[in-house]
Amino acid sequence: MNKSWGMLILLLVICIVTAIFRPRFVEPGNLANIIRWTSLYGVMGIGVAFVIITGGIDLSIGSMLALVGCLFGIFMADYNLPPAVAIGSVIAMSTLLGLVYGLLVTKLKLQPFVVTLCGLLILRGLARATAGGSSVGGFSKLDFLINYEWGSVPVPFLPWINEGYWSFHKWVPGLGDQPGHFALNDAGERIALGWYDWVPLHPPLIYLTVIAIVATVLLNWTVFGRHLKALGKNEQAARFSGVRTDAMVILSYMICTCLAGIAGVLFSIDIGSVMPSTFGNFYELYAIAAAVLGGCSLRGGEGSIVGVVIGTAILRVLQNSIEMWSIQELEFAVVGGVILIGVIGDEIARRIIAARRARQEAALLEKQTA
């Protein structure tokens, strides 16, 4: 949790500095985009965290998103499957791929890096073959899953929501003797925005919140979570303690690929079309980076879901800040530098904690032998 507080402070610093020098950063439309993309990337990051905690890695997430998006579009457009069936099918497919990864890692003792690297290539090739090299669409009728406009359906227990939602209107500042902020509705009429209109109730944020709560409970308050962390810290000791290590690894990969499938569905709907050769490129690196920034050790055994969400937010805010400063050509350099700083900080903190623990154990031993 201490690491999460540190990352939260870093996130606030980036936001404050960007807002001071680039006021457009705090405009509702921009904040809405940051919230939406943070939520979508956060779903992937949480899945990767489970694998990293075991000491593994998954490099195939971007390709997984491409294959899920292509199959999802084909099921919807070509086979006219009901949306629920199409979504369930692609998520089940992605979860089964996680089972395959887990079996290859545990039963054949292959390195996770090699298994998922091969998966990256194979899944990308399957996506391109499935789509025939062309883009896949047909997600417009599911747009409400991402861009649901509060007020289109009455919400009796939250009456203020029914008056409209700022992020789905053209935002304009208050003028003259009319202070505050306003939005233009579909009829072109200007409506005042109250404090309640700034509540970021985006559907993707709701999805991320639910998934994060479930993942936090699973990781911190269940036997599965304790066993998962024990496996990551010392697999042999965990096995001798009665932990079914193979089952833990397999389940972690299945959770990771299941959440990647969910993210693939959401990204497909949000973007509107899937180009199999480019869709999801580098997404796995952002997910891994978010998990590492959030406190997941690449050695395994450590991880925080709250930290992963904060790490994802840092990456998305940082990328948005880079766009605000018009230095897009340095995007990867800046993001890479921040990740490197985070990893170095984690390593320094780990060594300090280990040295302190060693001194305490030595002092205790000396007291016992005195």
Task: Supply the CATH number for residue 68's domain.
Answer: 1.10.3470
Same domain, 247 and 155: no
Six token digits for residue 362: 């030595």
Same domain, 39 and 136: yes
Which residues make Cβ contacts (< 8 Å) with residue 163, sequence separation at least 6?
151, 191, 197
Can you tell me the distance from the alpha carbon of 313 to that of 324, in angstroms, rounded to the nearest whole number?
16
- Indicate whether 233 belongs to any domain: yes
Residue 370: its pLDDT value, please? Answer: 66
Same domain, 26 and 102: yes
Q: How many domains does the chain have?
A: 2
Residue 2: its pLDDT value, please? Answer: 63
Same domain, 99 and 76: yes
All residue ranges of the chain with pLDDT < 70 are 1-2, 148-201, 370
Residue 160: its pLDDT value, please? Answer: 36
Can you tell me the distance from the alpha carbon of 296 to that of 51, in angstroms, rounded to the nearest whole number?
10
- Indicate whether 282 belongs to any domain: yes
Same domain, 260 and 116: yes
Residue 304: give the domain boundaries: 2-146+208-327
Can you tell me the distance from the alpha carbon of 226 to that of 326, in angstroms, rounded to the nearest whole number?
45
Same domain, 223 and 295: yes
Same domain, 58 and 102: yes
Same domain, 187 and 253: no
Same domain, 75 and 128: yes
* Contact assessment for residue 174 and residue 186, using Cβ atoms and an 8 Å cutoff: no
Residue 234: its pLDDT value, please? Answer: 87
Same domain, 40 and 179: no
